[in-house]
A and B are shown apart, each in its own frame.
Chain A
Amino acid sequence: MKALLIGESREGKLLESTYELVGFARQLGADSAMFLVGDPGRLPGYAGKLYLADVAQAGEYQPDLHKKLILDAVEKENPDLVVFLHSSYGWDLAPRVAVRLGVGQVSEVIGFKEGGFELGACNGKMRRAVKLQGRVVVTIQAGAFAAAPAEGSPQVEPLKESAVSLVEFAGYQPPEPKDIDLARAEIIVSAGRGVGKKENVEVIAALAKALGGELGASRPVVDAGWVEHSHQVGTTGQTVSPKLYIACGISGAIQHLAGMKKSGFILAINKDREAPIGEIADVLVVADVLQFVPALTAKIAG
């Protein structure tokens, strides 16, 4: 089995998550080669063949050009698997490559199962297994496979393609400045969609206050404008690791878990016993947040 790993760089720097692809290939027991549009002056610590296109020419977001470059690498390497991270780069590019190769794509692999891959389904509540025949394009879930250490140096094979692009990249917009740094908080109490409406966020904030902690939130609560974005926990919010994390009415979607699973102690309050947050919570309280949380706050207040 041979895998072509599609590394990533951003703003000129190699992304550390690239080493998760190497970890994936090792766990699978596959031989690998890497493809990267990156800076030839900053090579990954990888002891294998590296198909490298210079980011100065190929740009960081030129999906049509990057697709062509990857197809060149596939032709030279003849891999069984073309492996992307399930990231804004990977999910954007993988389907285009799969169509051009005339092969199927498996998205967001979380593990191995019965000679194939295991995937999540139904927002993390269920699992799916797929078998593979022939060449496949896959994306792997961020964080699902431990990164391999950066070691060795690659044999570089430069790639170049004449520019084609149906999209024009007009630059990055930096993250909004944060008015609060959740990463330093020791106690975080987070509100999820299960709180029901904006006014009820007060109930969660009151518990945070009683515990001397900060208010966090899941994405829908932020998208709805109930809480500022600076409080959002998850892949597109902040990554936190407080000593105590209390998730109130949060289902436990992977993008939320990615931002808080390293917390010391996780208490979840959810009316759904099957909510995926239960998989990582130290204690799951099956209750209505609007009954349980005010009662707990009252008890703490004495």
Chain B
Amino acid sequence: MKLLVCVKQVPDLESRFKPDPSGQWYSETDLAFRINEYDDYAVEQAVRLREQLGDAAELTVLSVGPDRVVEVLKKALAMGCDRAVHVQDPAPHLKDPWQIASIIAAYARSQQYDLIFTGFQSQDRGSAQIGPTIAELLGYACTTTLVGFSFADGVVTATRELEGGLKGVVKMKLPALVTCQLGLNVPRYPTLPNIMKAKKKELETVPVANLLQEETRIATESFYAPEKKGGGMVLEGDVTELVNRVYAILKEKTPALRQ
């Protein structure tokens, strides 16, 4: 059985973001990159299935992006993926989700995967489109926002998260694609021996031009900081002073501390 998991590298979201000179995306200066949080759960689930199936399965991890994305591919290999594919693209942010999905679908089509895992959404773009779009392009069964997953007798049983605490149970035959939500599992940390082993695993590099046939459908016009709505007070400085000020505010403006 052939498995694929798609991962994206995103900046640390606690960073300060500034538009780049094109005004269409963020400047990468001073940003540290890591694996998209949702994709960590996708990799973990794919690795667990790979372990369940044993040698009958092969798990590929794929990322579209510049050379820095090799870091997340290595992490996924160290978590237990068998091989990695780096679709080399210096500027994935200038492509829309439709193009990224088409690129991944073009690669996947040549490999005939039985089951594909993606994250529910990316933290920087957050379109939540790429998984279902790939599935639709490939004609695969698809369900989204998984908080539960099991596989037995050729059937995927997925628990989808709906609104307000409700969940839905879905069954699918292969080939299929699922998108993984936060909390689906507890992602492992790569161990040192596994990091060493990962160094020997195959890393295939494919230039994006070999896979990209589609034009942008929705281009970003501009990228900017939100307008400050004002109103709120920002307090900074010495902790003791902050505590005194906040204590006074709570006493004056809220029912707290009024016995």
User: Is A131 interfacial (CB-CB < 8 Å)?
Assistant: yes
Chain B residue, CB-CB nearest to A225: B186
In the complex, which residues 49-98 of chain A have their Cβ closer than 8 Å to any Cβ of chain B?
A: 61, 63, 86-88, 91-92, 94-96, 98
State whether the Cβ of A9 lies closer than 8 Å to any Cβ in chain B. Answer: no
- The reply to whether the CB of B239 lies closer than 8 angstroms to some CB of chain A is yes
Is the Cβ of B242 less than 8 Å from the Cβ of A287? yes
Given A104-B217, A176-B165, A286-B235 contact (CB < 8 Å):
yes
User: Which residues of chain A have C-beta atoms less than 8 A from B231's C-beta?
Assistant: 282
- Interface-located stretch among A21-29, A35-43, A294-302: A294-302
Instruction: Tell me whether B246 and A128 are in contact (CB under 8 A).
Output: no
A125 partner, pick from B13, B145, B183, B246, beta carbons under 8 A: B13
CB <8 Å contact, B224 and A127: yes
Given the known inter-chain contacts A88-B144, A211-B257, please indicate yes or no for A295 contacting B243, CB distance below 8 A.
yes
For the A-B complex, the count of residue pairs with Cβ-Cβ distances under 8 Å equals 249
The A201-239 residues at the B interface (CB cut-off 8 A) are: 211-213, 219-220, 222-225, 235-237
Rounded to whole angstroms, the CA-CA distance of A100 and B135 in the bound complex is 12
List residues of chain A with CB within 8 A of the CB of B101. 95
Residues of B within 8 A of A132 (CB): 218
- Determine the chain B residues whose CB is within 8 A of the CB of A61 once the complex forms: 160, 168, 170
Query: Which residues of B lie under 8 Å from residue A87 when comparing CB positions?
Result: 163
Q: Which of B98, B129, B255 contacts A186 (CB 8 A)?
A: B255
Q: Does B91 contact A (CB under 8 A)?
A: no
Residues of A in contact (CB 8 Å), total 86
Q: Which of A161-202 contact B (CB under 8 A)?
A: 166-176, 186-187
By a CB distance below 8 angstroms, the chain A residues around B226 are 125-127, 276, 279
Asked whether, in the complex, the Cβ of B133 is within 8 Å of the Cβ of A99, the reply is yes
Q: Is A120 an interface residue (CB 8 A)?
A: yes
- Cα(A244)–Cα(B78), bound, Å: 45
Contacts of B123 in A (CB 8 A): 122-123
Min CB distance, A216 to chain B, in Å?
Answer: 15
For residue A30, CB closer than 8 A to chain B, the reply is no
Q: Write out the residue numbers on chain A whose beta carbons fall within 8 Å of the beta carbon of B246.
A: 267, 283, 285, 296
Contact of A122 among B13, B137, B163, B165 (CB under 8 A): B13
B219/A130 in contact, CB under 8 A? yes
In the complex with contacts A105-B129, A265-B254, A287-B239, A99-B136 CB distance below 8 A? yes
Residue-wise interface mask of B (241-252) relative to A, using a CB-CB cutoff of 8 A (1 in contact, 0 not):
011101101100
Tell me the bound Cα distance from A99 to B136 in angstroms.
Answer: 7
Q: Which of B127, B160, B223 neighbours the largest number of chain A CB atoms within 10 Å of its CB?
A: B127
Tell me which residues from 174 to 193 in chain B have a Cβ below 8 Å from any Cβ of chain A.
176, 182-183, 186
A13 proximal to B (CB < 8 A): no
1/0 per residue B2-34: CB within 8 Å of A? 000000000101101100000000100000000
Contacts of A122 in B (CB 8 A): 11, 13, 17, 26, 123-124
Contact of A284 with B by CB under 8 A: yes
CB-based nearest B residue for A107:
B127
On whether the beta carbons of A128 and B220 are closer than 8 Å, the reply is: yes
Q: Which residue of A lies closest to B224 (CB)?
A: A127
Q: CA–CA, A171 to B129, complex, Å? A: 25
Q: A4 interface residue, CB < 8 Å from B?
A: no
Distance of B40 from chain A, by nearest CB (Å): 11
Interface pair B232/A279, CB less than 8 Å apart: yes
| Residues 129-146 of B at the A interface (beta carbon under 8 Å) | 129, 131-133, 135-137, 140-145
B176 to chain A: closest residue by CB: A166
Minimum CB–CB distance from B182 to chain A (whole Å) comes to 6
Cβ–Cβ < 8 Å partners of B165 in chain A: 175-176, 236-237
Cβ-defined contact, A244 with B250, below 8 A: yes
Contact B133 A300 (CB under 8 A): no
A175-B164, A279-B229, A283-B232 known; A121-B125 Cβ under 8 A: yes
Are B257's CB and A300's CB within 8 A? yes
Q: Can you offer 29 A-B residue contacts whose CB atoms are under 8 A?
A: A63-B142, A91-B145, A94-B132, A96-B136, A107-B97, A122-B11, A123-B13, A126-B225, A126-B226, A127-B226, A166-B140, A166-B172, A166-B173, A167-B141, A167-B143, A173-B168, A173-B169, A175-B164, A211-B256, A212-B256, A236-B164, A267-B246, A272-B14, A274-B16, A276-B226, A291-B239, A292-B239, A295-B239, A299-B247
Given contacts A175-B165, A264-B254, A283-B249, 5 further A-B contacts (CB under 8 A): A166-B176, A174-B166, A211-B256, A267-B246, A292-B243
